[in-house]
């Protein structure tokens, strides 16, 4: 017998539930004393014939007896010497399964002993046609390796190949981030699909869990066991928070590890983790979303599919949820964005104003604690509920209903309205319906909620209410007015809201940096260089941003200022400068700097 459980290219398995003693083996292989044609075919191909008994358990003597019976049954058979014969009992089958870690959850599920929260390779992303559906490739450059120099990103296929190259190596760690609904889980599934590109990953190595499912064992425990056993596996951890990613990375990068890891997260604003290749997945092209809608909902017309794709903004989850509301022979062409949004929110349910208000206030924050209903000021459901006159129990029930409609996602005790495109629209409506004085009273007295609220505001640049709030914070007497005296929380909030009113943020930085104590202010504002570079994207604000960057850089020690210097220099690149400033604008600044250079 050669090494391996499938030892020949042509291998036939005869599977029996009952045990197969030697006497029954001959009858099985030679009914009416004639060798089965399938066995003869295997012999002609120099293949293997293996009997598998799920009930049998054989010691060496019994195993030898069964193999002898199999050889006896092939006496006189053409090419019998070229046919490999073997007998697998339940112990050997179990050993076989254990050698393929990724298949264990699948086998255990089949026998009714599933491992809570863990899956083998399969339909991890919600899809009606499961794992058999062909993955739709997008030529849009929507995958961006965070730590690599690329022109403008990668196509889907290019990104898949790069991620595969990383995960094929032991001890390598990948993080895939992107907004909810853009197709992160479906892309990870495609890494193991041999129909997509070349050199797909081995699906038998994949072990998948979604942290929202409460896996048992926890990923750290499973990873530690795999490392200790020197077992090759690829862990896929969906909805993986940064702290868990960090711990998994430490475990799986141990010298003796044969494990690689890919974690998936909807938070695109976290810090870059060490020893990790980070890839950002952006929204799909309108053309791909249109194809996706037509595939899943063949009764929807092409014009309706195009309408849905345009409204979705490249978000597959939004498109699919909206398409599911379209009845046969119904059309959505011609509906306004607000009408389409209401269809998406209602999902064929009748209008529920109370639920709609609950969704609005829950969207005001990026995330919230969703289980504590105690009547205390620390309970976030209490604070949010008071904004609309709801008890924490009522709001808890509303959140549960939103979760059933796939509009709220859960991670441990935390909840978030997702996708962000829906949450942002709901939050903008909430700012119109809830007096700011109430928001200030109930959210601003909680450090966690005010920070979460500021993150939501950062997405609402099109909301005049959001712009008004940020301007008030940054203006005279506002609590973000003096940027040089902000604590860590204040600085985080300052950066969170910057996209809403960039010119006001710039003015708030100019006050100290161009004031009488500019040198001391420059030292305190050095951490805002990345923010200034981002604001410099706008050609109208470019010169003002550069002036502040120069002020900061000229008061810092050159050797400890390498990163900030590189940021500044990158603004003057001919390509990939990250700004819409014209060549003429940049040349003028360079000349002025050279004129005063020592």
Let me know if 62 is exposed, middle or buried by CB neighbors in 10 A (0-12, 13-18, 19+).
middle
Q: In the chain, how many domains are there?
A: 4
When the pLDDT of each residue in the chain is averaged and rounded to a whole number, the result is 89
**Domain presence at residue 547:** yes
Q: What number of H helices and E strands is found in the chain?
A: 27, 13
The whole-angstrom separation of Cα 352 and Cα 272 is 41
Considering the domain architecture, whether residues 73 and 216 belong to the same structural domain is answered as: no
Q: What percent of the chain has pLDDT over 70?
A: 95
**Domain presence at residue 364:** no
Considering the domain architecture, whether residues 139 and 271 belong to the same structural domain is answered as: yes
Provide the domain limits for residue 545: 518-598
pLDDT of residue 14: 87
pLDDT range class, residue 2, cuts 50, 70, 90? very low
Considering the domain architecture, whether residues 159 and 308 belong to the same structural domain is answered as: no
Predicted confidence (pLDDT) per residue in 282-296, tens digit: 999 999 999 999 999
**Domain presence at residue 495:** no
Considering the domain architecture, whether residues 113 and 251 belong to the same structural domain is answered as: yes
DSSP-derived secondary structure letter, 135: P
Mean pLDDT of 170-185: 92
What interhelical angle do 420-433 and 337-346 show, nearest 10?
A: 110
Domain's final residue, options 233, 251, 281: 281
**Domain presence at residue 147:** yes
Considering the domain architecture, whether residues 277 and 290 belong to the same structural domain is answered as: no
**Domain presence at residue 238:** yes
- In this structure, what are the phi and psi dihedrals at residue 232, rounded to the nearest 5 degrees? -80, 130
pLDDT of residue 272: 65
Q: Which residues of 220-240 are buried (b: 16+ CB within 10 A; e: fewer)?
A: eebbbebbeeebbbbbbbbbb
The whole-angstrom separation of Cα 16 and Cα 28 is 10
The whole-angstrom separation of Cα 136 and Cα 113 is 34
- For residue 211, the domain's CATH number is 3.40.50
Q: How far is CA 27 from the centre of its chain?
A: 55
pLDDT range class, residue 150, cuts 50, 70, 90? very low
pLDDT of residue 1: 40
Alpha-carbon distance values, 304 to 132, 134, 287, 311, 421 (Å)? 26, 23, 13, 11, 20
DSSP secondary structure letters along 56-89: ----HHHHHHHHHHHHHHTTT-TTGGG-EEEEE-
**Domain presence at residue 362:** no
Considering the domain architecture, whether residues 147 and 249 belong to the same structural domain is answered as: yes
Considering the domain architecture, whether residues 128 and 161 belong to the same structural domain is answered as: yes
Considering the domain architecture, whether residues 277 and 292 belong to the same structural domain is answered as: no
The whole-angstrom separation of Cα 211 and Cα 218 is 9
Predicted confidence (pLDDT) per residue in 328-366, tens digit: 889 999 899 999 999 989 988 899 999 999 999 999 999
**Domain presence at residue 78:** yes
pLDDT of residue 558: 57
pLDDT of residue 519: 80
The whole-angstrom separation of Cα 575 and Cα 397 is 52
Predicted confidence (pLDDT) per residue in 389-423, tens digit: 999 999 999 999 999 988 998 888 999 998 888 99
Let me know if 137 is exposed, middle or buried by CB neighbors in 10 A (0-12, 13-18, 19+).
middle
Contact 107, 40 (CB under 8 A): no
**Domain presence at residue 270:** yes
Considering the domain architecture, whether residues 233 and 108 belong to the same structural domain is answered as: yes
pLDDT of residue 559: 59
Considering the domain architecture, whether residues 228 and 311 belong to the same structural domain is answered as: no
Query: Does residue 167 have a cis bond before it (omega within 30 degrees)?
Result: no
Alpha-carbon distance values, 387 to 48, 307, 430, 541 (Å)? 72, 35, 10, 37
| Cβ contacts of 111 within 8 Å, gap of 6 or more | none
Considering the domain architecture, whether residues 128 and 238 belong to the same structural domain is answered as: yes
Mean pLDDT of 17-44: 88
Considering the domain architecture, whether residues 149 and 251 belong to the same structural domain is answered as: yes
The model's pTM: 0.74
Contact 486, 451 (CB under 8 A): no
């Amino acid at each position: 017998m050669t090494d391996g459980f499938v030892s020949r290219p042509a291998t036939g398995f005869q599977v029996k539930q009952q045990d197969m003693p030697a006497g029954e083996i001959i009858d099985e292989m030679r009914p009416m004393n004639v060798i089965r044609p399938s066995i003869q075919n295997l012999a002609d191909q120099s293949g293997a014939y293996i009997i598998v008994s799920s009930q049998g358990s054989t010691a060496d003597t019994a195993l030898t007896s069964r193999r002898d019976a199999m050889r006896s049954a092939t006496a006189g058979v053409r090419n019998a010497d070229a046919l490999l014969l073997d007998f697998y009992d339940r112990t050997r089958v179990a050993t076989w399964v254990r050698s393929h870690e990724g298949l264990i959850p699948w086998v255990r599920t089949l026998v009714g002993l599933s491992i809570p929260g863990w899956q083998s390779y399969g339909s991890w992303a919600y899809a009606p046609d499961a794992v058999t559906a062909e993955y739709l490739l997008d030529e849009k450059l929507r995958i961006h390796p965070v730590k690599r120099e690329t022109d403008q990103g990668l196509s889907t296929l290019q990104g898949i190949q790069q991620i595969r190259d990383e995960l094929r190596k032991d001890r390598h760690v990948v993080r895939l981030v992107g907004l909810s609904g853009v197709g992160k889980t479906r892309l990870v599934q495609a890494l193991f699909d041999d129909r997509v590109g070349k050199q797909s990953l081995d699906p038998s190595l994949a072990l998948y869990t979604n942290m929202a499912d409460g896996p048992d064992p926890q990923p750290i425990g499973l990873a530690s066991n795999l490392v200790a056993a020197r077992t090759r596996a690829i862990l896929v951890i969906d909805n993986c928070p940064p702290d868990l990613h960090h711990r998994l990375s430490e475990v799986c990068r141990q010298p003796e590890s044969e494990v690689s890891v890919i974690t998936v997260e909807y938070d695109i604003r976290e810090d870059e983790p060490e020893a990790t290749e980070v890839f950002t997945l952006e929204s799909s092209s309108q053309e791909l979303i249109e194809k996706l809608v037509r595939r899943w909902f063949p009764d929807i017309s092409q014009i309706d599919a195009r309408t849905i794709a345009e409204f979705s903004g490249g978000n597959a989850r939004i498109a699919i949820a909206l398409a599911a509301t379209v009845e046969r022979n119904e059309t959505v062409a011609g509906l306004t964005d607000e009408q389409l949004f209401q269809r998406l929110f209602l999902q064929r349910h009748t209008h529920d104003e109370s639920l709609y208000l609950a969704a609005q206030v829950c969207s005001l924050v990026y995330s919230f604690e969703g289980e504590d209903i105690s009547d205390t000021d620390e309970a976030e459901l209490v604070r949010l509920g008071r904004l609309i006159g709801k008890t924490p129990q009522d709001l808890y029930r509303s959140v549960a209903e939103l979760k059933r409609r796939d509009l709220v996602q859960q991670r441990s005790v935390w909840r978030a309205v997702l996708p962000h495109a829906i949450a942002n629209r709901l939050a903008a409506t909430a700012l119109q319906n809830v007096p700011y004085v109430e928001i200030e009273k109930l959210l601003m007295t909680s450090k966690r909620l005010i920070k979460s609220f500021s993150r939501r505001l950062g997405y609402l640049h099109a909301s005049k209410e959001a712009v008004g709030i940020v301007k008030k914070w940054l203006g005279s007497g506002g609590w973000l007015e003096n940027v040089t005296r902000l604590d860590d929380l204040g600085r985080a909030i300052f950066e969170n809201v910057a996209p809403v009113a960039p010119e006001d943020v710039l003015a708030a930085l100019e006050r100290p940096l161009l004031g009488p104590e500019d040198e001391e202010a420059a030292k305190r504002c050095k951490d805002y260089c990345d923010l200034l570079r981002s604001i410099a994207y706008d050609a109208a604000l470019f010169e003002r941003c550069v002036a502040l960057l120069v002020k900061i850089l000229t008061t810092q020690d050159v050797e400890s200022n390498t990163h900030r210097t590189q940021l500044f220099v990158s603004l003057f690149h001919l390509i990939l400068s990250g700004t819409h400033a014209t060549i003429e604008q940049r040349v003028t600044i360079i000349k002025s700097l050279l004129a005063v250079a020592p």
